[in-house]
Amino acid sequence: MVQSSYSIRGPLDVPRFQKAWDSTAQHHATFRTRFLLGLPDALHPNLQLVVKSTATCWAIEDWSTHDVERAEANFLSQEREAGFSPERPLIRFGLFHLGEGHHRLIVSLHHAIADGWSNGLYTQTWLRCYANLELQPAGQLQDLVTYVQSQGPREAEQFWHKQFAGVETPSLLAEPHHTPGTSVSPAEAKYYGAVMRTVDSNVDFARLAQSFGVTLSSLLRATVGLVLHRHSGSSDSIFGVVVSGRNAPVPQVESIVGACINTLPCRVRVDHNPTVGDLLRTVHEDSIAAYRYEHCSLTDIHRWSGLSPEQPLFNVLFIYENYPETVPQDDLPIALELVDCRDPTDVPLTLMAVYSDAQLHLKASYQSHAFSESFIGGFLDHAVNVLHSLGTHQPDQSVHALEMLSPRDLSLLTDTWARNPQPLTSPPALDEFWRHVHEQPNRIALRDQERTLTYAELDRATSYLAQQIQQAGAGGPDRVVAVLADNSPELIMGQLAAWKTNAAFVVIAPDYPIERKLFIIRDTACAAVVGRQEWLRDLETQPPLAYIPIVTVERRPLEATVDLPPVSVQPNHLAYVIYTSGSTGQPKGVMISHGALANYLAGFHEVTTVTPTSVVPTILAPTFDVSVSEIWTTLTSGGTVAIARPGDYRPALTLATRASFTPSLLALFEPADYPNLTSVLVIGEACPQSLVDKWAPYAEFINLYGPTEVTIATHHAKLKVGDLVAIGRPMPNAVGLILDDHLRPVPVGVTGHLYLGGKGLARGYLNRPDLTEQKFPTWSTTNERLYQSGDLARWLPDGQIECLGRIDNQVKVRGFRVELGEIETALEAHPAVTQACVVIQDTHLVGYICPPVEGDSRRLLDVVRACLPHYMVPSALVGLQEFPRTQAGKIDRTALPRHDFSLLTTPRDLATLAPVERQLVQIVAGCLRCDVTTVALDATFYQLGGNSLSAIQAVSHCQSQGLRVLVADFNRSNTLRHIARLAQSTAAPNAGDAVIDEALPATGPARLTPAQREFFGLSLTNPQWLVLPAMYETRDRFTPDQWQAAVDQVVRCHPLLRARFLEDPTMPGGMTYKVEDELTDQLTYHRVADREAVTGRLRSIVEGLDYLLGPISEFHV
């Protein structure tokens, strides 16, 4: 429904005015039109019928004493609710007296009988009828319909198909946190907002268009297309344009009154037109070419475009009001002036341009469910800025030089929000560590499950290692020492020792494939390798190690025999190298200086509190740069680093006051279990809202963001329950800019590329000057060096940054940055694979290869495992004869067939499995929350959908049920069948002091563990020293039967509680123990008067235990 409000000035004769309308309806047949729909048994079930005469509905009232604005709004609303019936008159009038010589006319008509072009034509006719003036002959709508029906579709289809060549997706305008592309009918839309702008300029835009050789309509289309292009980020922009539909070779076509207008798509190819003149000419020529096919329906054009019918072609509509001017009304007794026209569309945003008296006005009508007023106002402001910029540019200037942002916006986006300059005092980390060695030498620096080291002890131990490195001639600025270690005291010792020789360190994980270890050693021209003997064993026989000093870290640290010469660490000296995944098939080393690290450490202390009482666990992998943050934010603050062993985080977490996690790891823990944890930091992955809401009530929750190339983190956001999960604002002395493809700042709410800089910027990539130049460009606007993060982001209205994911082929897998290209290169190294593609499906990697490899694909995965870490090995391979392609010829990753992990062979009957296999399958099914019958024994844990986090859970459940397996058994990509064999193996590698790897038998004899042998080797005057009593209190009431059932279940689940120790001279340590099938009388009840009596009773119970006679465990209530 179109609703137009007019102001009538002058002495109005109402009956004469009504009669004049009747004459107007006779002159224009469209106002006598009815529609007969759904006729049964008819050749044409839908017909348009023109009657000879028609009755007109009028509402005539006196509003002279009313609030006109409110009365008009109520009347318009009532009219919309009444609607139209197609077989009845499709136009109604409201005529309201406002005062002497002043009336308000409201016309409500159906879209099907007249368009905006018709408004001026029929009101001109109406006024001439009122004045009894001669009418001009009008074009006939039927002639236009006949012409349109005579046009064949083939040529039109070819034209529109060519117009959409190369378009893969529509360029839909979207506001953050609104769903783009949604449309509702006008009747369903609850509210239509409107924003208006007048282009305040000395430029006559009609003359400006002429100077470019185009029409004003083409200039405005190019402006809309350019603004939409910069908002959507696509190379092309597509929006709808309303055309008059009156360009046909029909007599007096421009005077036809009726529903002739049509909506067509307009494609503006911004990136294909390098200059302003090129862009304007192309838009103008395309507009002229489309005139011949403007009769085509949007439904047909959509079908010919080749785009998905599920998405609209556009969600922005542009209307240039160049309707025919009415004749001067000087000779008429009344004056009719249009006050407002409400012409809603089913498009979320409608832009209208009106050019009158050399003044350009812009109006935007929008659906409030899709856009906000501030967003649309900003969109119009950007259009105004582009128009101003057009007025000062020459045709041969670059189209990308047209400015869309105002100077104020540019300052906000590139300075106020993008930077956080702080005058921080940031000495090198080594100097800060030494300060705490001198100020608090006896404070605990490191703690793990076996030992503690004070600051003084750590300093002395690392000085010994540094002495070994120096004696080997491996120290000095910018030389690199490889530290081969997992999360352990040796990791920190190696780092400190390297720094004490003025060298940098690079961490190599002991479980890396030998090829990756050797690559890093060669790439860094490693000066020395530091690590424990067992970690170095596979390297000692490698040729590169023949000329590289190896420094072994002893389990019991030794102290330096001579004083080390003083070291002067300079900010530009290299601090460490971190290797990240590389798209060329090899990892790339990121070089971080001491100055960059020192600035990060000082800035971190501004973000959150770290004190000498802080306890921080090493949870994340040591090859992940956040490990550097965990260790050195703590040791430079005088706090304690709690070493969390792989797969056993809980002991360290129980002590922790602050901890860093990847979001997927944090999701495994419950806040209530760690009351000491007052600060939680997440980094490395997108953080889900649910995780914030879970943890924020219990601890300070900080979302950190930053690639390795900018020293751990550049942005932070302190989040509370319900907060939007953003990466927040820059950390001290960090820079964050959001730029488009041409390095221009993007406005608020628009997606762009996140560029990072500041004092934390890395030197670049080791031995890769080409890649360094590519990834660290210089931004010409400020002449500063930046890092191209590869992440998409947008500004939020409050100045925070929201990260939207990767633009390239890099993804995060369990917190590790992975270049899919590196995995694809490894797959393509196989001679039978011509092309490979890797994607993330749900929680794991799936590799696609072409053509399929004959035989077992697991052999191909073995090749990948030999050169890539376990987290980069695809969970499955899918062979294809050919890859699906996009129109541009690229692999269509969205069209790749999903891998069905249920296709792996699964046991039909659990009873056919061996006991350990059945137990393992049930544990895995519980951890992966899947049906036990879908768990295949010949699949790896990762093929079944597991990851390193769920592997930790699985190992915990296995060990609690007596299966001795390690996380490493899962990470080695063993099948479940092989893991089951490992779990039930009873063979020891050596008969002496080897660590027992087999699971504890449920019953029967067993050898002592090393710890047990050590206990029995002690000469104890008081054997009760070995008894470990534990007392618990509950206020719940349980019956004796319930207590007994609970004890029986615990003893049944833990065989060692049913053990008795026996003397056996043939066994190591002279002792063995036997696990009984069952034990009786392990539960005893007592009645006591008070707590003192409990203490006395407990003492007698401990004294009565005899580890030789047994049992070695008792329960007392």
CATH of the domain at 478: 3.40.50.12780
Q: Is residue 784 part of a domain?
A: no
Instruction: Look up residue 1025 and give its two tokens.
Output: 């020293």
Residue 443 has pLDDT above 90, yes or no: yes
Are 463 and 567 contained in the same domain? yes
Q: Is residue 744 part of a domain?
A: no
Are 293 and 175 contained in the same domain? yes
The string of DSSP letters for 605-650 reads: HHHS---TT-EEEE-S-TTSTHHHHHHHHHHTTT-EEEE-BTTB-H
**Minimum mean pLDDT among 15-19, 106-110, 382-386, 935-939: which range?**
935-939
**pLDDT tier for residue 910 given thresholds of 50, 70 and 90:** low
**Residue 414 and residue 420: Cα distance in Å, rounded?**
11
CATH of the domain at 953: 1.10.1200.10
Supply the pLDDT for residue 703: 97
Residue 166 has pLDDT above 60, yes or no: yes
Residue the block writes with tokens 């797959």: 827
Query: What's the one-letter identity of residue 1115?
Result: F
- For residue range 118-132, list pLDDT tens digits in order: 888 888 888 889 888
Supply the pLDDT for residue 973: 61
Q: Where are the alpha helices (DSSP H) in 704-839?
A: 769-775, 820-828
Are 285 and 351 contained in the same domain? yes
**Residue 64 and residue 97: Cα distance in Å, rounded?**
6
Average pLDDT of the segment spanning 341-346: 78
Q: Taking the chain, what is the end-to-end CA distance rounded to the nearest angstrom?
A: 82
Considering only residues 126 and 910, tell me which one the structure prediction assigns the higher pLDDT.
Answer: 126
CATH of the domain at 317: 3.30.559.30
Supply the pLDDT for residue 957: 81
Q: Cα-flanking dihedrals φ and ψ of residue 810, to 5°? A: -100, 135
Residue 709 has pLDDT above 90, yes or no: yes
Are 281 and 307 contained in the same domain? yes
Considering only residues 797 and 990, tell me which one the structure prediction assigns the higher pLDDT.
Answer: 797
The residue among 588, 607, 626 that closes a domain is 607
**Minimum mean pLDDT among 23-27, 88-92, 795-799, 1100-1104: which range?**
1100-1104
**pLDDT tier for residue 328 given thresholds of 50, 70 and 90:** low
Beta bridge mates, 266: 239
Q: How far is CA 514 from CA 158, 540, 1111, in A?
A: 59, 11, 49
Q: Cα-flanking dihedrals φ and ψ of residue 783, to 5°? A: 60, 35
Angle in degrees, CA 790, 794, 797, rounded to 5:
160
Give yes or no for a contact between 703 and 728, defined as CB atoms under 8 angstroms apart.
Answer: yes
Are 190 and 270 contained in the same domain? yes
Supply the pLDDT for residue 559: 66
- For residue range 1103-1112, list pLDDT tens digits in order: 777 766 667 7
Give yes or no for a contact between 110 and 91, defined as CB atoms under 8 angstroms apart.
Answer: yes
Are 110 and 213 contained in the same domain? no
- For residue range 864-898, list pLDDT tens digits in order: 877 777 778 888 888 888 888 754 456 788 889 98
**Residue 795 and residue 124: Cα distance in Å, rounded?**
50
CATH of the domain at 38: 3.30.559.10
pTM over 0.75: no
Q: Is residue 281 part of a domain?
A: yes
Residue the block writes with tokens 């910018």: 478
Q: What does the mean pLDDT of the chain come to?
A: 84
Q: Helix, strand, coil: what percent of the chain each, to 5?
A: 35, 20, 45
Average pLDDT of the segment spanning 497-516: 94
Q: Which residues contact 1089 (CB under 8 A, 6 or more apart)?
A: none
Give yes or no for a contact between 610 and 631, defined as CB atoms under 8 angstroms apart.
Answer: no
Nearest one of 82, 130, 76 to 104, comparing CA atoms = 76
- For residue range 63-74, list pLDDT tens digits in order: 999 998 999 989
Supply the pLDDT for residue 324: 57
Number of other residues whose CB lies within 10 A of the CB of residue 796:
17
Supply the pLDDT for residue 1108: 64
Residue 153, CB half-sphere, CA atoms under 13 Å: how many?
A: 7
Query: HEC states along 175-231?
Result: CCCCCCCCCCCCCCCCCEEEEEEECCCCCCHHHHHHHCCCCHHHHHHHHHHHHHHHH
Q: Is residue 929 part of a domain?
A: yes
3-state secondary structure of 39: coil
Residue the block writes with tokens 């660290």: 776
Q: Is residue 487 part of a domain?
A: yes
Handedness of CA 36, 42, 46, 51 (dihedral sign): negative
Query: What's the one-letter identity of residue 588?
Result: K
Q: Is residue 519 part of a domain?
A: yes
The residue among 404, 432, 454 that closes a domain is 404
3-state secondary structure of 382: helix
Burial of 921 (0-12, 13-18, 19+ CB in 10 A): buried
**Residue 707 and residue 714: Cα distance in Å, rounded?**
8
Q: Is residue 379 part of a domain?
A: yes
3-state secondary structure of 143: helix
**Residue 658 and residue 599: Cα distance in Å, rounded?**
20
**Residue 737 and residue 719: Cα distance in Å, rounded?**
22
**Minimum mean pLDDT among 430-439, 468-477, 716-725, 983-992: which range?**
983-992
**Residue 623 and residue 577: Cα distance in Å, rounded?**
10
Nearest one of 23, 9, 62, 307 to 168, comparing CA atoms = 307
Instruction: Look up residue 414 and give its two tokens.
Output: 């590139």
Q: How far from the centroid of its chain's Cα atoms is residue 835's Cα?
A: 28
- For residue range 733-771, list pLDDT tens digits in order: 999 999 998 899 999 988 889 999 999 999 999 999 999
**Minimum mean pLDDT among 12-16, 598-602, 647-651, 987-991: which range?**
987-991
Q: Is residue 631 part of a domain?
A: no
Q: How far is CA 259 from CA 137, 200, 278, 832, in A?
A: 18, 34, 35, 63
Supply the pLDDT for residue 152: 73
Supply the pLDDT for residue 560: 57
**Minimum mean pLDDT among 362-366, 440-444, 1108-1112: which range?**
1108-1112
**Residue 665 and residue 952: Cα distance in Å, rounded?**
10
Supply the pLDDT for residue 665: 84
Are 1012 and 1078 contained in the same domain? yes
Average pLDDT of the segment spanning 385-404: 90
Instruction: Look up residue 1093 and give its two tokens.
Output: 């009596």
- For residue range 1015-1032, list pLDDT tens digits in order: 565 444 455 546 667 777
- Total of domains in the chain: 6
**pLDDT tier for residue 1010 given thresholds of 50, 70 and 90:** very low
Q: Tell me which range, 220-229, 242-251, 946-955, is most confidently predicted by mean pLDDT.
A: 220-229
Are 840 and 956 contained in the same domain? no
3-state secondary structure of 880: coil
Supply the pLDDT for residue 1012: 62
Are 922 and 886 contained in the same domain? no
Q: Cα-flanking dihedrals φ and ψ of residue 316, to 5°? A: -130, 130
**Residue 808 and residue 819: Cα distance in Å, rounded?**
9
Supply the pLDDT for residue 986: 34
The boundaries of the domain holding residue 179 are 169-248+259-324+342-404
Are 16 and 128 contained in the same domain? yes
Residue 1088 has pLDDT above 60, yes or no: yes
Average pLDDT of the segment spanning 626-651: 92
Residue the block writes with tokens 């308000």: 104
The residue among 574, 590, 607 that closes a domain is 607
| Residues of the chain above pLDDT 90, percent | 38
- For residue range 269-315, list pLDDT tens digits in order: 988 888 999 999 999 999 999 888 888 888 889 988 888 777 788 99
Q: Which residues contact 26 (CB under 8 A, 6 or more apart)?
A: 32, 53
Supply the pLDDT for residue 295: 84
- For residue range 533-588, list pLDDT tens digits in order: 888 888 877 877 778 888 988 866 666 566 777 788 999 999 999 998 876 678 89
**Residue 1008 and residue 1027: Cα distance in Å, rounded?**
17
Are 533 and 593 contained in the same domain? yes
Q: How far is CA 992 from CA 146, 689, 1062, in A?
A: 102, 53, 19
**Minimum mean pLDDT among 350-364, 787-801, 1040-1054: which range?**
1040-1054
Q: Tell me which range, 43-52, 204-213, 270-279, 522-531, is most confidently predicted by mean pLDDT.
A: 522-531
**Residue 584 and residue 775: Cα distance in Å, rounded?**
14
Supply the pLDDT for residue 180: 46
Nearest one of 201, 193, 240 to 358, comparing CA atoms = 201
**Residue 1014 and residue 996: Cα distance in Å, rounded?**
14
Q: Which residues contact 93 (CB under 8 A, 6 or more apart)?
A: 21, 56, 57, 58, 59, 105, 106, 107, 108
- For residue range 127-159, list pLDDT tens digits in order: 889 888 888 888 788 887 887 777 777 888 889
Give yes or no for a contact between 379 and 227, defined as CB atoms under 8 angstroms apart.
Answer: yes
Considering only residues 90 and 601, tell me which one the structure prediction assigns the higher pLDDT.
Answer: 601
Burial of 875 (0-12, 13-18, 19+ CB in 10 A): buried
**Minimum mean pLDDT among 100-109, 583-592, 709-718: which range?**
583-592
Supply the pLDDT for residue 456: 94
Residue 250 has pLDDT above 90, yes or no: no
| Residues of the chain above pLDDT 70, percent | 87
CATH of the domain at 835: 3.30.300.30
Are 429 and 565 contained in the same domain? yes
**Residue 1047 and residue 1084: Cα distance in Å, rounded?**
11
